Chains A and B, each alone.
Chain A
Amino acid sequence: MIKYIVRRSLQAIPVLIGITVVCFVLMHLQPGNPADRFAQNPKITQAQIAAFEHRWGLSDPLPEQYCKWLGVCGDKGVLNALPGGTLNVAGLSISLPGGDNGILHGDLGYSIDDGRTVVAVIGDRLLPTIILTGTAYLIWITLALVMGVYAAVRRYGLFDSALTIFNYIGYSLPTFWLGLILITLLAEGDPFKWFPASGMWDARTVPVFGTSDYWAFVGAQPLNALQDLARHLALPVLTLVLVSIAGDSRFIRSSMLDSLNQDYVKTARAKGVPERTVVFRHALRNALLPVVTNVGLEIPFIFGGAVATETIFSWPGMGRQFVESVGHTDYPVLMGILLISSVFVVFANLLADVMYAVVDPRVKYD
């Protein structure tokens, strides 16, 4: 088991390295560089542009830029890959030889747009994204589970047929268009002005999310803060749930049908086990095995954010940050978001494989 996990983790290393290369190369696909924004500005001299390029390392050859971004190259050569700084052990301070910048050291660089660290930029956006996608994820997985199992048990019944049609439609809706329609119907339309059309908090009554004022407000009036958040969450979560539930409920239904057709279910029924027990104890538990993997593979979505939904509803999350940074050609931030999202996918795959091996004792690790 341990051996399997180690082997599987080692396999992930070349993929991770490949991801860093892909992120880097993608960013340099574009002609020109961030200094181009000054080209039309008469107040900025050639010397200043050269200084800017030197400051950001834009004039270095690409492999060197990549190597520095990775945190392997630097003034200390290959030693840079090792951790640097000083280590205090039992009163002795030992200075370590390596460097402390580059992604190997957890340093993703600085945003060209506003000079903050990329980690700070992403950190600001991570929590709103997790609140939005996490809520949606919990709701749609729960609903998909209940609906999928019920449809499988009452196969070809009215509910099953209705669910099939609902799934097809949900699967076919473009997320951003559904969001627009929901805004038109429920937020801006005259008949139902129920929910705010955009944003994460009501700027008139609530401080900016993530600031210390906000947390003080949450501490002082937790109910108001929660209500405000819930009102703003309603439409984006509804959008995400409607478009995402289809795939999962379909998957759960077919997995449950598979399992209901197994011989052990027939045996249990033949023995006279009550139908309830057959469904929940015998069939469902086995049907959940592939579901666990599938649900695990969707976890990166919680962190990567929902680009379309966040853009439509002006939700201050990772997806929207990506779109904004694309607009500003802010590639340290873009590389950071791409890298973090991809790394989450790799780890989710790893986790799903390991989880599958843990929950299903029949799986053999070779």
Chain B
Amino acid sequence: MDPRIEDVELPPSGGPTADYEVALVSLNQWQLAWRRFKKHKLGFFGACLFLGMVAIAIFGPLIMPYDPQYVPSFASKFCEGSTTLIAYSGCPPLTPGHILGTTGSLRLDLLTLVVNGARISLIIGIGASVFSAVIGTIVGGIAGYFGGVIDNVLMRIVDIMLSVPILFVIIWCAKVIGNGDWRVILIVFAVLGWPGIARLVRSLFLSLRTEVFVDAARAVGVSDMRIIFRHILPNAVSPIIVSTTLSVAGVIIGEAFVSFLGYGVDPAQVPTWGNILTGGLDFVGQGNWWWTLFPGLAIVITVLGINFMGDGLRDALDPRSRE
């Protein structure tokens, strides 16, 4: 059936032949993609997970009863309803008032921390990915469109950046120029993350620049920059969206790892999933498994959602690439 025919209610077969109309609605490519995406169960599920996490990041901190830096002073030495000493390793999950338990030593509410950590973790993930997608698109677009010497030089730079083990460089840069500020970490990931997208955009532009509509635009005197960004780019945008989506997952994991090594966002400034988890490392041996488990689970759920969503988007935006 033609995908552009709207689903209209057909009369029951065998019934009286009433008049009915087949509504022909023309849909643009985004509406078509949205229709395909809705049918992609895993992708839709992933989008719900991810958007749910974004909603938690935006609204969660507003409704949490505790402040992430608030240190409670309990009357009793023991956690409520348990025999665990408060000062020792924190209260286990399901303690009244603390669904996910509390951290050791300062006994902050873990749920409050994880919900607050979602903000910065997601901002770094999304921000760095979008930022590097913009750089990558500009570099790749220029290289692919102009070709020749410009292409050669830019692609050798990309080759170099893709050869150097990027995780090593991120660790080093985070140590050298990072001062625990989350904005610096975001910029480090953004500035080091663009070469992959640049290579992708270049290959798209190489094939698109030979299309007839580009010749037509050039023939009527459209400027190069306008051809690149207004004529070719809209045709290349689907793979860029998919790739950017998937890279959010990578940055979130990367940020957590850099924090784990101690060069990430300073936990005294803002909590992120990475630095919450890192704080719990010394307490695993004292029986506090929940402190490292829950921020990690938050990362896994988010990343899983992003990966599902990315694959759904890939199938929805570019039906040809379907296996």
Contacts and interface: CB of A to CB of B under 8 A. Distances in A.
A346 interface: yes
B225 interface: no
A171 interface: yes
B284 A22 contact: no
B222 interface: no
Contacts of A171: 307
A257 B323 CA distance: 8
B157 A18 contact: yes
Nearest to B302: A172
Interface stretch (B4-12, B25-33, B143-151, B252-260): B252-260
A307 B167 contact: yes
Given A22-B160, A172-B303, A323 B296 contact: no
Contacts, number: 108
A29 B177 contact: yes
Given A29-B173, A29-B177, A326-B172, A338 B165 contact: yes
B159 interface: yes
Contacts of B168: 307, 322, 337-338, 341
Given A26-B169, A346-B163, A172 B323 contact: no
A168 B307 contact: yes
Centre residue among B161, B164, B175, B281 by max chain A CB count within 10 A: B164
A31 B179 CA distance: 13
Given A18-B156, A18-B157, A181 B296 contact: yes
A314 to B, nearest CB: 13
B208 to A, nearest CB: 22
Contacts of B175: 30, 326
A105 B163 CA distance: 22
A346 B277 CA distance: 35
Given A172-B249, A254-B323, A307 B307 contact: no
Contact of B300 (A31, A173, A334): A173
B274 to A, nearest CB: 9
B284 A176 contact: no
A15 B256 contact: no
A23 B307 contact: no
Interface string A329-362: 0000010011001100110010000000000000
A172 B260 contact: no
Given A30-B176, A168-B304, A307-B171, A174 B163 contact: no
A163 to B, nearest CB: 14
Contact of B164 (A19, A31, A175, A323): A19
A316 interface: no
B160 A19 contact: yes
A293 B263 CA distance: 35
B293 interface: yes
A15 B300 contact: no
B261 interface: yes
Contacts of A342: 163-165
Contact of B284 (A23, A168, A184, A334): A184
Interface string B258-296: 001101000000000000010001001100010011001
B289 A14 contact: no
B300 A172 contact: yes
Interface string B161-198: 11111011101110111000000000000000000000
B148 to A, nearest CB: 16
A19 B167 CA distance: 15
Given A338-B169, A345-B165, A180 B257 contact: no
Interface in A40-59: none
Centre residue among A23, A176, A334 by max chain B CB count within 10 A: A176
Interface of A: 14-15, 18-19, 22-23, 26-27, 29-31, 168-169, 171-177, 180-181, 183-184, 188, 254, 257-258, 304, 307-308, 311, 322-323, 326, 334, 337-338, 341-342, 345-346, 349
10 nearest A-B pairs in the assembled complex, by CB-CB distance: A30-B176, A18-B160, A177-B296, A172-B303, A172-B304, A345-B163, A342-B163, A174-B253, A341-B165, A342-B164
7 contacts: A15-B159, A26-B169, A29-B173, A31-B176, A173-B300, A177-B277, A342-B164
